[in-house]
Structure 1
Amino acid sequence: MKRRLFLFASALILSLPLPASAGAVDALKQFLDSTRSFKAEFSQSVLSKSGRRPQASSGRLAFQKPGKFRWEVEKPYPQLMVGDGQKVWIHDPELEQVTVKKMDQALGNTPAALLSGSSDMLRNFVLSEGGEADGLNWAEARPRSQEAGFDKVRLGFAANGDLKAMELSDNFGQTTTLRFHQPERNPALAASLFRFTPPKGADVIGE
């Protein structure tokens, strides 16, 4: 679950509404330079390689350039990941455990590295138009590095350019699908969203 939480938080920068008048790849490049913040609620399902009944969860997310993000799962079990620009904090309340890593070591060449704000990071991904399916237009991003931890990210957009879905295929054959609700681009976000202090009594692992 922690790995899945991290992978999706690392894909936040790709989670942007795209203008219908442009191709998904061209629009992505434009929005990487123009979008400073984003927030939305989400519902998530995870389909295993065996095809057994999907696991479902829901929560909310936010990011702000440069390098700050918050990914919060609320149901069925709470989990939180916060990137404060220097470190990434992963909190598991049930285990009373906090894992902390340096931002550059944690993100590497994952999509989250794009949170640093430069479209130059796109050189680390192979981008392509994904065609139309399920009434959505899809863009696709594949990491060039074999150590990225995932195979590809697909993003589905409605005709008006709003982001409606995102699919991530990991290296274990799992497909995780996100549906975004009430997305907002460039909202004013409280600085407190991107701060984290380990709760008293929690076991802190890492930096």
Structure 2
Amino acid sequence: MKRLVAPLALALAAAPLIIPASPAPAQQAQGGLAQVNAYIRGVTTMTADFVQTDRAGQTLSGKLTIRQPGKVRFQYQKGVPLLIVGDGKALTMIDYEVRQVQRWPIGSSPLGALLDPKKDLSRFGKLIQTGDPKVISVQARDPKRPEFGTITMIFQKDPAGPAGLQLYGWVALDSQNNRTTVRLSNQRYGVPVADSAFRWTDPRPKGRAAGG
């Protein structure tokens, strides 16, 4: 199997999304950021199918599971020996093919903007014009820690979703300019999610099963 790039867990990424680069007017931006904040705080659990494409064009699919605050699981398609799990504090990437485990604080990943309901996007995010009144795009970046990268989240207005929004996907860019994109489908909210969804089997020698 073709090896997967190590920055995957930091940059996390599907078919390209079009992200315009111009900021939105102040009044529009304030309302949009408030609505996205309300969405993030309104999500208790979420499951979705995802399609991910890395900068080399390699595409993978799988299932995304989120439970706030901070818990996430990227379960990849059958035959891909890779798992990414967030336990509320750290993101862990487990590569079962080479028996490697890598961990990053969730706050050090672009995904921190999506997985921390306590964060206020108005302090580190900006609304990006999309040209479509039904689409909201928010770019989040910590100006004091540029090494954490940037995430641009794409939402579609949907009365059935939390705060009237549906998370469509995101584009993440790490400090090495590794761009990855995720596109979501079949989103479901408020579904039961067990603690076991965020456990994993440690493939390293000596039975160091830190994740369960």
**TM-score normalised to structure 1 length:** 0.70
Task: Determine the structure 2 residue equivalent to 1:84.
Answer: 87
Measured in 2, the distance between the counterparts of 1:206 and 1:146 equals 28
Report the CA distance shift for 1:128/1:137 in structure 2 as closer, same or farther (over 3 A): closer
1:170/1:45 CA distance change after superposition, 3 Å = same
Shift of 1:73: 2.6
For the pair 1:182 / 2:191, whether they are aligned, the reply is no
Distance 2:180 2:42 in 1: 27
Match of 1:139 in 2: 138
More moved, 39-48 vs 67-76: 67-76
Name the residue aligned to 2:155. Answer: 157
What are the ranges of 5 or more consecutive residues in structure 1 without an aligned counterpart? 10-21, 49-53
Equivalent residue pairs, number: 183
Correspondence 1:148 to 2:156: no
Does 2:177 correspond to 1:173? yes
- Is the strand fraction higher in 1 or 2? 1
User: Given the superposition, is the C-alpha separation of residues 6 and 79 from structure 1 closer, same or farther in structure 2, using an over 3 Å criterion?
Assistant: farther
In structure 2, the CA distance between the partners of 1:199 and 1:55, relative to structure 1 (3 Å rule), is closer
CA separation in 1, counterparts of 2:195 and 2:145? Answer: 34
The match for 1:62 among 56, 62, 65 is: 65
Q: Residue 117 of structure 1 aligns to which amino acid in structure 2?
A: P
TM-score by length of 2: 0.69
d(CA) in 2 for partners of 1:84, 1:170: 21
Tell me the amino acid that sits aligned with residue 153 of structure 1. I
Among the aligned pairs, what percent are the same residue? 24
Q: Output the CA distance in 1 between the equivalents of 2:151 and 2:188.
A: 21
- The letter for the 2-side match of 1:40 is A
Query: What amino acid is the match of 1:174?
Result: N
Measure, in 2, the Cα distance between the counterparts of 1:202 and 1:24. 50
1:46 corresponds to which letter in structure 2? D
Structure 1: which amino acid aligns with 2:197?
Answer: L
In the TM superposition, 1:1-207 aligns within 5 A as 1-8=5-12, 23-47=31-55, 54-74=57-77, 77-99=80-102, 101=103, 106-114=105-113, 115-120=115-120, 122=121, 125-132=124-131, 136-150=135-149, 152-160=150-158, 161-199=165-203, 201=205
Corresponding residue SS for 1:119: coil
* CA shift for structure 1 position 40: 0.9
1:82 is displaced (CA, Å) by 1.6
Residue 51 of structure 1 aligns with which residue?
A: none
Deviation at 1:173, TM superposition (A): 3.0
- C-alpha deviations, 1:59-93, integer Å up to 9, x for none? 12112123322122326733112222355432101
Task: Check the 8 A contact 2:69/2:117 in 1, yes or no.
Answer: yes
1:7 to partner: Cα distance: 3.0
